[in-house]
Amino acid sequence: MEGIVRFFENSGFANVTPGHLLMILVGLLFIFLAIRYEYKPLLLVPIGFGILIGNIPFVEHAGLHLGIYEEGSVMNYLYMGVLKGIFPPLIFLGIGAMTDFSPLISNPKLMLLGGAAQLGIFLTYIGAISLGFTNPEAASIGIIGGADGPTAIFLSSKLAPHLIGSIAIAAYSYMVLLPVIQTPIMRLLTTKKERRIKMKPPRSVSKLEKILFPVVALLLTGFIAPGSLPLLGMLFLGNLLKESMVTKRLADTARNTMIDMVTIILGLTIGASTQATTFLTQQSMHIFVLGATAFMFSTAGGVLFAKIMNLFLSTENRINPLIGAAGVSAVPDSALVVQMEGLKADPDNHLIMHAMAPNVAGVIGSAVAAGIMMSFLL
Amino acid sequence: MATIVHLLPIDLSAIGHEHLTLAVIGYSIVFLSLFLLFLVFSLLPKFLTRNLRRKFQKEGGEEKASLAGTIVPGEVSAAIATAISLYLEELHDEETSILTIKKVGKSYSPWNSKIYNVINFNRFQR
């Protein structure tokens, strides 16, 4: 009889709290959104399932070694890749091997939009300070404005490991909600005439330029912000593997098998780190509010800077200010939002190729911002 | 919106000079690094075509030299690439069917020898 009682005490039914149930509902919602509407399924399925795994209630610290925060548990070992900042650079290697920087090389002035759209990072940092977060915590929250999941995870693993779960969930949730967040801001800050601007088609880029880009970009950004090297080093290595054409096998592995493996483990552990007992706090709620404002400010920063640039550009070189919104990283989702919005204003105006330029510049910009934050605060 | 602001314990006095400095300098450095990249990659095409321009200048004077820096729009490149691809695919159709018949040489093995075969069909005994 005693054994049965002990079994029941150890079961999920005896340890369940409203928080666990709420988080299980969130996990189910993520899985539903991913499968039913195909919203970022590669991320939301592992994260959603991870939330389920992390929120099955059990007796914590009873020597069972089950929870992600319990030393010696399998999930804890996998989570080390997140805590030690190992997974984000590996994801960046894969992203580099997938990314085509030609739109950016063909129209280099669009790089500035990728810088302007990092406004949300620094404004949110100030906002987080005013909400009572410490300096490193505020920087980790601010980086959500870069709309780059691996960068947010990397920086928070270094500066505020206890907030990784909330920051990652906020970053990825808002990436799914990009059309909802960005579209109203894009419409508010542009006129219909501006949204109809047709841009010059990009020029063709030589192979030599494509090979030089990762090397030169690494040297420049690395010297300015060495803190960004783990991310940018891997990003540009991946890109060089792709563009050099002599390491096809390595590039294929980086952009397929390797990134898929890391995505599964990263998504799963991030999801599982949202254990209700440690995740559902007032701080997490504040992070969610700040994350949304970060995305909004970043979008506004990009769009407004594109409008400012237009003041100095000739009529034939003018930029459609919508593409400024793609300066928040979120590759390629924000570029797709721009494309959709551009088509609504003019069904013949395809902006996707132009939007990809600030989009990939945003990846570089947010990684540099993370490096700067690290240099200041570590 | 007012409710959200009311719910959040915002304390503006917590923002110090060091926070503002980090934000301003941080944003400026991000901008600077991308601006430097912009500068380098704006000048790079001119630098890369410098030798070609010199060569053209020797061959045909200023008029030909000006062709060295000609920017080929992506659409033109795509059209040329499509034309080449179509042309090469067309070439395949002109090949003779003889090429598709290959003589297969079988290396000898007692396992497939017709001499040691269990069933010796007549057609093998010509």
Are the beta carbons of A261 and A236 closer than 8 angstroms? no
Query: What pLDDT shows up at residue A237?
Result: 97
Question: Which residues of chain B neighbour A368 with C-beta distances below 8 Å?
Answer: 29-30, 33-34
- Report d(CA A209, CA A103) in Å as an integer: 12
Provide mean pLDDT across the span B91-98: 58
Q: Which two tokens stand for residue B76?
A: 């033109």
Which amino acid belongs to residue A310? N
Q: Which of A158-187 are b and which e, b meaning 16 or more Cβ less than 10 Å from the residue's Cβ?
A: bbbbebbbbbbbbbbbbbbebeebbbebbb
CB atoms within 10 A of CB A260: 11
Provide mean pLDDT across the span A162-187: 89
For chain A, say whether B41 makes contact (Cβ under 8 Å): yes
Quote the ipTM score: 0.88
Q: Which two tokens stand for residue A265?
A: 């483990």
For chain A, say whether B1 makes contact (Cβ under 8 Å): no
Provide mean pLDDT across the span B11-38: 92
B residues 71..110 contacting A (CB < 8 A):
71-77
With CB atoms and an 8 Å threshold, state whether A108 touches B42.
yes
- Give A371's pLDDT tier (boundaries 50, 70, 90): very high
Q: What is the pTM of this model?
A: 0.83
Query: What pLDDT shows up at residue B123?
Result: 55
Min Cα distance B59 → chain A (Å) is 23
- Give B121's pLDDT tier (boundaries 50, 70, 90): low
Q: Which two tokens stand for residue A346?
A: 């003019």
With CB atoms and an 8 Å threshold, state whether A369 touches B15.
no
Summarize pLDDT for B31-47 with one digit per residue, the tens: 999 999 999 999 988 88
Q: Coil, helix or strand for A200?
A: coil
Query: What pLDDT shows up at residue A128?
Result: 94
- Report d(CA A186, CA A300) in Å as an integer: 7
A203 secondary structure, DSSP code:
B
- Specify the higher pLDDT residue, A203 or A343: A343
Quick one: closest CA in A to B6, which residue?
Answer: A131
Summarize pLDDT for A102-118 with one digit per residue, the tens: 989 999 999 999 999 99
With CB atoms and an 8 Å threshold, state whether B38 touches A368.
no
Q: Which two tokens stand for residue A282?
A: 């007032």
With CB atoms and an 8 Å threshold, state whether A224 touches B33.
yes
Query: What pLDDT shows up at residue A110?
Result: 93
Which position has the token pair 């890109």?
A239
Min Cα distance A32 → chain B (Å) is 29
User: Per mean pLDDT, which range of A66-75, A152-161, A311-320, B23-32 is the poorest?
Assistant: A66-75
Judge whether residue B125 has pLDDT over 70. no
Q: Which of A200-230 are b and which e, b meaning 16 or more Cβ less than 10 Å from the residue's Cβ?
A: ebbbbbbeebbbbbbebbbebbbebbebbbb
Summarize pLDDT for A139-157 with one digit per residue, the tens: 999 999 888 889 999 999 9
Quick one: closest CA in B to A374, which residue?
Answer: B26
Provide mean pLDDT across the span A2-23: 84
Domain ranges in chain A are 1-58, 84-377
For chain A, say whether B61 makes contact (Cβ under 8 Å): no
Query: What pLDDT shows up at residue A367?
Result: 94
CB atoms within 10 A of CB B119: 5
User: Per mean pLDDT, which range of A145-149, A214-218, B5-9 is the poorest?
Assistant: B5-9
Contacts of residue A20, defined as CB under 8 A and 6 or more positions apart, other chains included, come to A55, A56, A57, A276
Query: What pLDDT shows up at residue A126?
Result: 95
User: Would you state the torsion angle of the CA atoms of residues A161, A163, A168, A170, taken in this order, to the nearest 10 degrees?
Assistant: -170
For helices A164-176 and A282-312, give the axis angle rounded to 10 degrees.
50
A112 → closest Cβ in B8, B10, B38: B38
With CB atoms and an 8 Å threshold, state whether A118 touches B36.
no
Query: What pLDDT shows up at residue A266?
Result: 92
- Give B17's pLDDT tier (boundaries 50, 70, 90): very high
With CB atoms and an 8 Å threshold, state whether B4 touches A289.
yes
Judge whether residue A197 has pLDDT over 90. yes
Find the DSSP H helices in A160-256.
164-176, 178-189, 192-195, 207-224, 229-243, 248-253
Helix H, strand E, coil C: the string for chain B is: CHHHHHHCCCCHHHCCHHHHHHHHHHHHHHHHHHHHHHHHHHHHHHHHCHHHHHHHHHHHHHHHHHHHHCCCEHHHHHHHHHHHHHHHHHHHHCCCHHHHCCCCCCCCCHHHCCCCCCCCCHHHCC
Query: What pLDDT shows up at residue B4?
Result: 54
Query: What pLDDT shows up at residue A216?
Result: 94
Query: What pLDDT shows up at residue A283?
Result: 87
Provide mean pLDDT across the span A166-177: 86
Question: Which residues of chain B neighbour A119 with C-beta distances below 8 Å?
Answer: 27
Min Cα distance A285 → chain B (Å) is 10
Query: What pLDDT shows up at residue A173?
Result: 84
Interface test with A, best of B28, B41, B76, B84 (most A CBs within 10 A): B41
Min Cα distance B32 → chain A (Å) is 8
Summarize pLDDT for A15-39 with one digit per residue, the tens: 888 888 999 999 999 999 999 988 8
CA A351 to chain centroid, in Å, comes to 22
Judge whether residue A356 has pLDDT over 70. yes
With CB atoms and an 8 Å threshold, state whether B34 touches A131.
no
With CB atoms and an 8 Å threshold, state whether B29 touches A224.
yes
